[in-house]
């Protein structure tokens, strides 16, 4: 009897524990379902104000006139080179003098008509005097013969009179030659120039047309750059546009568009590592024929050189402007390249509600990143130029854009023209160029 009682008690306890466990599991399951129901119907995710945002730097963009250029390297050459010498042989008596009163030498500046060198002219003076005496003698003989013929026509034949006329003409011609030789004994500068080479010294004998000085015109100089055949057509097109523009320009502000501009940069730096100032030049000549040795076209760019700091032989690069058009100049770091695509990110402001527990505190401005495809663009070194008619832009994310996705919320930092997360939106940036 005792064993039966213990068995019944044992089964009763098991049944009670099982029922209790079932009740507990049912209660926990009901609570879980209730929590899921509340989440689906009533509890909302974090608002845009509270969502973590990626920090970015933004630069404003605006439409401006952009220059599209191609870069070429070359050397500076003198505007013109003159090799001058005496036309007659003789001995150099003395050289001309510079501003300091010293004999002319390489590097000295001369002006048009200035004496470069003098030849010993004693022989030329004597020959001139001899020729002048012969002219006087021939004219005297002719005068006497004409007087005789007037008084007695038969005393002097017409042939003899003609011979005397010829002798006068020959004597005058010899006098002109003697005067010319005397003038040639003084060597003068044909233009304002700088002496680049001096070939003789005082006391040396020279032959006719022997080079005595080499002069270079350097008030203006030429930067000669080599342009490949594939790009010469673009320069020719621009040159024709400039020529047409000059014939139709009516306003002063349009004059810049009528110049075939080139921005020139000298190679090297100063003692502090600073680049030399940019020089403004103008394309002077595009040759008709390529250089037979290199197959390239030596295009000449005119540069002013009033201070004569530019010396022939200097190396420089020229950014030759091939087009000027309205567009956006976007910092190169802001543009992302994937395969053949180019795109960038810009920020767009929007309003978001600020909620605290059960209270709505109003709206605030937040920024969202938007991916923008660039259908046309040109790489211009530190800038990527996009034509204004191909896309509309207001700003560009210039830092923090590499891990962004389209539509991601961002926080603006370190942007001078856009106030971070306050009621200020991005300004405009623009700049342009023909697409690739």
**245-255 residue pLDDT tens:** 887 766 655 66
Report the share of the chain in percent with pLDDT over 90: 56
pLDDT at 334 (0 to 100): 92
| Three-state secondary structure of 109-120 | EECCCCEEEEEC
Please state, in angstroms and rounded to a whole number, the distance separating the CA atoms of residues 86 and 184: 6
pLDDT at 420 (0 to 100): 47
Query: Is the pLDDT confidence value at 201 over 70?
Result: yes
Please state, in angstroms and rounded to a whole number, the distance separating the CA atoms of residues 106 and 176: 34
Say which residues have a Cβ less than 8 Å from residue 116's Cβ, sequence separation at least 6: 84, 95, 96, 104, 110, 187, 188, 189, 212, 213
Reported as a pLDDT band with limits 50, 70 and 90, residue 359 is low
pLDDT at 282 (0 to 100): 94
* Average pLDDT value for residue range 159-188: 91
Average pLDDT, the chain: 85
pLDDT at 270 (0 to 100): 87
Query: What is the length of the chain?
Result: 436
Structural domains of the chain ordered from first start: 54-63+326-355+362-412 (2.40.420.20), 68-76+220-324 (2.40.30.170), 88-208 (no CATH)
The two counts, helices (H) then strands (E), for the chain are 4, 20
Strands 335-338, 54-60: pairing is unpaired
The shares of helix, strand and coil residues in the chain, as percent rounded to the nearest 5, are 30, 40, 35
Query: Is the pLDDT confidence value at 71 over 90?
Result: yes
Query: Is the pLDDT confidence value at 112 over 90?
Result: yes
Query: Is the pLDDT confidence value at 48 over 70?
Result: no
Please state, in angstroms and rounded to a whole number, the distance separating the CA atoms of residues 230 and 284: 20
Query: Is the pLDDT confidence value at 431 over 50?
Result: no
Residues 123 and 239: beta-carbon distance below 8 Å: no
Global pTM? 0.70
* Average pLDDT value for residue range 315-332: 93
- Cα 234 off chain centre by: 15
Reported as a pLDDT band with limits 50, 70 and 90, residue 178 is very high
Reported as a pLDDT band with limits 50, 70 and 90, residue 120 is very high
DSSP assignment of 288-331? SS--TTT--EEEEEEEE-TT----TT-EEEEEEEEEEEEEEEEE
**Nearest-CA neighbor of 68 among 305, 378, 376?**
378
DSSP-assigned letter for residue 391: -
Instruction: Find where tokens 């026509």 sit.
Output: 153
* Average pLDDT value for residue range 89-95: 93
Q: Where is pLDDT greater, at 396 or 420?
A: 396
The pair of structure tokens assigned to 374 is 């660039």
- Cα 81 off chain centre by: 26
Reported as a pLDDT band with limits 50, 70 and 90, residue 436 is very low
């Amino acid at each position: 009897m005792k064993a039966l009682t213990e068995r019944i008690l044992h089964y009763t306890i098991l049944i009670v524990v099982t029922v209790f466990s079932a009740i507990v599991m049912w209660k926990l399951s009901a609570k879980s379902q209730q929590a899921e129901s509340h989440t689906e119907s009533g509890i909302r995710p974090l608002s845009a104000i509270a969502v973590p945002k990626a920090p970015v730097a933004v630069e404003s963009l605006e439409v401006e006139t952009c220059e599209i250029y191609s870069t070429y390297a070359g050397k500076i050459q003198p505007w013109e080179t003159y090799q001058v010498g005496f036309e007659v042989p003789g001995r150099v008596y003395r050289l001309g003098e510079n501003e300091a009163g010293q004999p002319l030498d390489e590097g000295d500046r001369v002006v048009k008509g200035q004496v470069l060198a003098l030849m010993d002219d004693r022989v030329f003076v004597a020959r001139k005097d001899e020729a002048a005496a012969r002219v006087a003698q021939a004219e005297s003989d002719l005068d006497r013969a004409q007087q005789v013929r007037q008084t007695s026509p038969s005393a002097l034949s017409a042939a003899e009179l003609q011979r005397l006329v010829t002798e006068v003409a020959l004597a005058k011609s010899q006098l002109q030659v003697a005067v010319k030789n005397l003038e040639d004994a003084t060597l003068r500068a044909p233009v304002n120039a700088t002496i680049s080479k001096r070939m003789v010294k005082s006391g040396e004998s020279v032959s006719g047309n022997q080079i005595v000085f080499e002069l270079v015109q350097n008030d203006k100089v030429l930067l000669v750059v080599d342009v490949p055949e594939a790009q010469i057509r673009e320069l020719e097109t621009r040159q024709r546009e400039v020529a047409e523009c000059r014939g139709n320009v009516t306003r002063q502000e349009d004059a810049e568009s009528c110049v075939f501009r080139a921005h020139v940069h000298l190679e090297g730096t100063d003692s502090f590592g600073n680049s030399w100032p940019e020089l403004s030049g103008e394309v002077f000549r595009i040759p008709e024929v390529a250089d037979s040795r290199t197959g390239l076209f030596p295009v000449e760019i005119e540069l002013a050189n009033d201070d004569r700091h530019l010396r022939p032989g200097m190396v420089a690069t020229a950014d030759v402007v091939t087009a000027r058009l309205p567009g956006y100049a976007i910092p190169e770091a802001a543009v992302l390249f994937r395969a053949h695509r180019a795109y960038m990110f810009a920020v767009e402001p929007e309003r978001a509600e600020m909620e605290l527990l059960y209270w709505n505190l109003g709206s605030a401005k937040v920024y969202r990143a938007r991916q923008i495809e660039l259908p046309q663009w040109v790489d211009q070194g530190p800038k990527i130029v996009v034509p204004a008619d191909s896309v509309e832009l207001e700003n560009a994310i210039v830092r923090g854009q590499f891990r962004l996705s389209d539509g991601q919320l961002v926080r603006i930092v370190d942007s001078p023209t856009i106030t971070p997360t306050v009621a200020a939106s991005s300004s405009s940036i623009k700049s342009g160029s023909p697409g690739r």
